[in-house]
Chain A
Amino acid sequence: MDACRISPATAMIRLLLATCLLTILAAAPGFGQIGSSYCFGTGCPCGNDDSSAGCGNFGKDGDPGTGALLSASGSGDLFADDLTLTVSGVDRGKFGLLFMGTKKAGTPTGDGLMCIGPGASGLWRFPVQKSNPSGQLSLVNPIGLSQGFGLGGQILAGSTWSFQAWYRDPLGPCGTGANFSNALDVAFEAPGASGPTLAQLAGNKLSTYPWFEYIASMNEGARVRAALDSTRFPWLVGVTGDLYVVAAKGKARWDVDPQLLDVRGAPTPVAIQPGGTQANTFTLAKGTLSGTKELELGVGYDVVFDANADGLLGPGDVIDGYSAEAGFYVVRDTAILGPEPVSALLYNGGAWLKQNIFYPTNIASLGPRPLVVVSHGNGHDYRWYDHIGEHMASYGYVVMSHSNNTQPGIETASLTTIDNTEHFLGNLGVIAAGVLDGFVDGKQIIWIGHSRGGEGVVRAYDRLIDGENVPTQFSWQDIRLVSSIAPTTFLDKNKVLPHEVPYHLWIGSADADVAGAPGSGQEPYTILERAEGDKMSTTIQGAGHGVFHNGGGNWWASGPCLNGPGKVHSIVKGYLLPLVDHVVGGGPAGRDFLWRHYESFQPISAPPNGNGCIVVNLEFHEKEGPAVFVIDDFQANEGLGLSSSGQSVTFNVTDVSEGRLDDKNGSLDWDGTDPFNGMTRNVRKADKQMGMVFSFDGVPSFIEWAVDPAQSNFADDTYLSFRACQGTRHPLTVAALQHVAFEVSLRDTLGVTSTIVIDAYGGGIAEPYQRTGLGPGAGWGNEFETIRIRLSDFLADGTGLNLARIEAVRFDLGPGHGSNEGRLGLDDLEVIR
């Protein structure tokens, strides 16, 4: 058959299919298609017509009878900027670009039709890209990108633009090597023209730029505020409306019930002023909103700015919470007992099957509940975890703490964990006279282990994954979270590997047993580094090994400012509940507990930060995948001038090294020979967690990472994230024993920069725990903590930063930028969706 011709039968079938598809799409508004397609492939240059897409190409399928199809999803809402244009049917790995204009045309060009002419507006090209393995090109946030085009090329409210894709097609039917998709018109509208504008409103006032933090959760009793940044909502300046706090409805209910009913009794009338965030921050409640509702971690509320004050959610209004997730959550005191009465019993299933079981007394009325299994450490007892058992059971969990055969070693402990879980789930008809039968959700299991038991639970999970053990009552998929308290690290990575299960680690910096000392062979942060899924750590300074259980006796603690079981249990309970609620139950109210600094957000009755003896450091790293863009994790391109994403890194900070986060000599003394002094993230040769260390000393200093142009669009992302630590006993750390702060900036392709200092949200990088030993001086191992900055915060007060075209991320340190001097470790610079 002539390559340039298509049989009439084939063409007919395609036409019918295209008609059906268009009919289906038209009848299915939920599909997300917007825009009006035109200029399909009829009258193509060499008879390569395709009336359902652009002119026929070689494309991905090698069929000259099919062309490339341009489609759109999202909306034309200027504030939402959620329009996504997708071109399919291109050959894989071929260059192409999208362009836009306002004049319609249909000129045969190359192998296709150029459907947009220059016209008065001109033609505006978006960045060149290469088609993905599926043969697709895509463009997100064209509104934001267009703001960089300058006058005439900016997408404005009320305008309609035509989009089309040009792409390389070397084997195309007409031999020109290039082709076009069909074209698509999209009308752009002012924010809120067709419905409420979605935005974050609720949060906390800050004392410095960005002046306000939009957050998901706040504690019961805390003041709740809302901010409308007038530079981001210019159309609202001068508008007087009502601010409502409404019991969270979710989108589906809002759509059928737009009535605004303020939980406070009446809305707050406000007038939007020029002057950005500071001029438009409003108090919504002074600690009066309830966070207590049945077993829920928190109570969800939506915030609405009712611009026309009509008492209904509608076009022109602004809402925080028009989704499955509430605008914000008021969270109860997670460190105190929950509402359910608790029953407890001791059960004997055999020599190493002794179990201490806790469950909500009214479990029959609650339905199947997740199971928390606790595996104790060496010399500990299964009855020493009643603080966890009673706490979690009072929130509806079933807790089983079992006798653990730890003295022989980790393998034995891991088998004991598996055996006890199996035995428990297989004997629910017998245990407690059968009251739990049918009410334990064996598909939601949390394994928590302490010390040898903490390593044992990871080994147990690895056994399930590797098929070394195949229980009948549960499988590896049912283990939803593994949490280790001060775990030992006897075994290699091939045996103690959390794989992709969410993994959490508790560390006491004063631990005198699993001390985490470099070179000791017991460096528990290593297990965290091995984890390949979401991973989190909670480090409590002043906590010894023995204060995590409730058995009394020696705290196994060494160092200043020791914290006893009372304080530590309060912190553990206060964090464990939201951790499990979020990771296992998917509850959004617990998410903030994973990463917001203790200084600004902590369980209500946990001991307050600020007396010098309560320092809690948090790490949260999300599983790598499409939602995480790694700018630099130091795992590749070890050279100082190149990031792991292959882009340039420039700096004038001093004493810079990249390498294994591993103290080389076992001494914590800073003698200048070991740049990674105090790092304890790799206990065995097979562990290869890399990072960066550097110093700055009394002069303005910087590090700047160039952003891959293909990844420069941050507009759809949520956070800039990294983790950092202070270098223990380094003269520049010792010089000022306090938290370290510095500035983080984003710069777009037009040179617009926005800067936030990391302690704006309440905490910098904490100083090392001042414990002595392993050489002269004070300061124990380096403690990383995660810093997350909302990308939208860089837009506060009209910086003009274009998040869709970020070309660099920069840290500025030293005088004028935060702390005067310091020695820092750094890792995992990422953008998170």
Chain B
Amino acid sequence: MKHWRGAALLGACLMVGAVAVGGLRGPEDPTDAPIAATPDQGQRGVWDLLVAIPFRVDQPFTHWWRAERPKVRAGHLLVLAVDPMVVRPRQAAEPILFVGDQTAERVNAGFEDGALIVVVPAPAGEDGWPMQELAGLPMWFGEPGLPEQVDAAGILEARGLVPDLIGFSAARVQQALTAGGAGLRCQDQAQLYLHAADWIERYAPADQHIIERLRLTR
């Protein structure tokens, strides 16, 4: 419990920092066209790993976020502190979020709070839980595009553009895992989304409409 509180406090501090850098606080003038940006080289948009939770699902679901559309049985639910300017939703191509050799599913928008809850598929072990080492795994926003058009070769190519990325340290990953608590064993994607909604509520409460959508069970 003590560890969790510490991680949460650190996360909150990082959030404040993220917001300060992003500068997107307070109501904006709706008639001022927003600026949506691609991350600067070196920054790559992912500022911190706040929470990490391993998950497994009994009923596999489709990962629409890459061209191969693989079935997902396990993975990690992550909470990332991100550059709000990068994740602002737009219709034109958005920077694609990569985590290691995967494209990540962005569950919420995150641009108002600078926090993104994402699903990262991973191979499932014999026990059903993800076989994925998060420590040292690069997490970055690549060039704008449509994730559904990115295949394994595209991911490798994107990785080649950021050879310097080294990922988060084992200690930071451990803190994130501690913050996330026990792994999630879900029946299906909808149940996983219910858990995701809880994390959105905690880290990106401005995405209320997404929380409500995910929690709609009628």
Contacts and interface: CB of A to CB of B under 8 A. Distances in A.
B3 interface: no
Contacts of B28: 554
Interface string A475-514: 0000000000010101000000000000000000000111
Contact of A407 (B32, B61, B106, B213): B106
A351 B92 contact: no
A379 B106 CA distance: 11
Interface string A509-524: 0001110000011100
Contacts of A348: 216-218
A546 B36 CA distance: 15
A377 B91 contact: yes
A403 B210 CA distance: 10
A386 to B, nearest CB: 13
Nearest to A520: B92
A553 B88 CA distance: 12
Interface string B24-45: 0000101111100000000000
B90 interface: yes
A379 B89 contact: yes
B209 A551 contact: yes
Contacts of B33: 512, 544, 554-558
B148 A379 contact: no
B213 A408 contact: no
B89 to A, nearest CB: 2
**Residue among B28, B61, B147, B209 with max Cβ neighbours from chain A (10 Å):** B209
A596 interface: no
B213 A381 contact: yes
Contacts of B31: 544, 555, 557, 562, 564
A347 B217 CA distance: 8
B173 to A, nearest CB: 26
B25 to A, nearest CB: 15
Interface centre among B91, B92, B93, B105 (most CB of A within 10 A): B91
A382 B213 contact: yes
B146 A410 contact: yes
B149 interface: yes
Nearest to B218: A348
A805 interface: no
A408 B90 contact: no
Interface in B12-34: 28, 30-34
B147 A407 contact: yes
A265 interface: no
Contacts of B61: 351
Given A351-B189, A554-B30, A513 B148 contact: no
Interface in A537-586: 544-546, 551-558, 562, 564
A409 B146 CA distance: 5
Contacts of B94: 378, 407
Contact of A347 (B65, B88, B209, B218): B218
A346 interface: yes
A510 to B, nearest CB: 8
A546 to B, nearest CB: 7
B75 to A, nearest CB: 15
A452 to B, nearest CB: 5
A411 B69 CA distance: 11
Contacts of A488: 91-92
A648 interface: no
Given A412-B64, A513-B92, A354 B30 contact: no
A346 B90 contact: no
Interface in A228-272: none
Contacts of A410: 146, 148
B168 interface: no
A409 B94 CA distance: 10
B161 interface: no
Given A351-B61, A546-B30, A451 B91 contact: yes
Contacts of A403: 213
Nearest to B90: A513
Where chain B touches its partner, the secondary structure class is loop
Contacts of B209: 381, 383, 551
A405 interface: yes
B190 interface: yes
B4 interface: no
Given A512-B33, A513-B92, A556-B34, A346 B216 contact: yes
A132 to B, nearest CB: 49
Residue picked from A378, A407, A522, most chain B C-beta under 10 Å: A407
B148 A412 contact: yes
Contact of A379 (B32, B93, B109, B190): B109
A521 B145 CA distance: 12
B200 to A, nearest CB: 14
Contacts of B218: 346-348
Nearest to B91: A451
Contacts of B93: 490, 521
B154 to A, nearest CB: 13
B60 to A, nearest CB: 13
Given A346-B218, A513-B92, A555 B30 contact: yes
Given A407-B106, A410-B146, A412-B64, A554 B34 contact: yes
Contacts of A486: 91
A8 interface: no
Contacts of A555: 30-31, 33
Given A346-B216, A403-B213, A514 B92 contact: yes
B213 A378 contact: no
Contacts of A346: 216, 218
A350 interface: yes
Contacts of B90: 378-379, 513
Contacts of B109: 379
A409 B89 CA distance: 13
Contacts of A412: 64, 148
Contacts of B216: 346, 348, 354
Given A346-B216, A407-B106, A408-B147, A351 B193 contact: yes
Interface string A373-388: 0000111011100000
Contacts of B92: 488, 513-514, 520-522
Interface string B144-160: 00111100000000000
A740 to B, nearest CB: 29
A468 to B, nearest CB: 14
16 contacts: A346-B218, A348-B217, A351-B190, A379-B109, A381-B210, A381-B213, A407-B106, A408-B146, A411-B148, A412-B64, A412-B148, A514-B92, A522-B91, A551-B209, A552-B30, A564-B30
Interface of B: 28, 30-34, 61, 64-65, 88-94, 105-106, 109, 146-149, 188-190, 193, 209-210, 213, 216-218
8 nearest A-B residue pairs (beta carbon): A379-B89, A409-B146, A409-B148, A512-B33, A451-B91, A408-B148, A408-B64, A558-B33
Given A409-B148, A410-B148, A513-B91, 18 more contacts: A351-B190, A378-B90, A379-B89, A381-B209, A382-B213, A403-B213, A405-B64, A408-B64, A408-B146, A408-B148, A488-B92, A512-B34, A514-B91, A514-B92, A544-B31, A554-B34, A556-B33, A556-B34
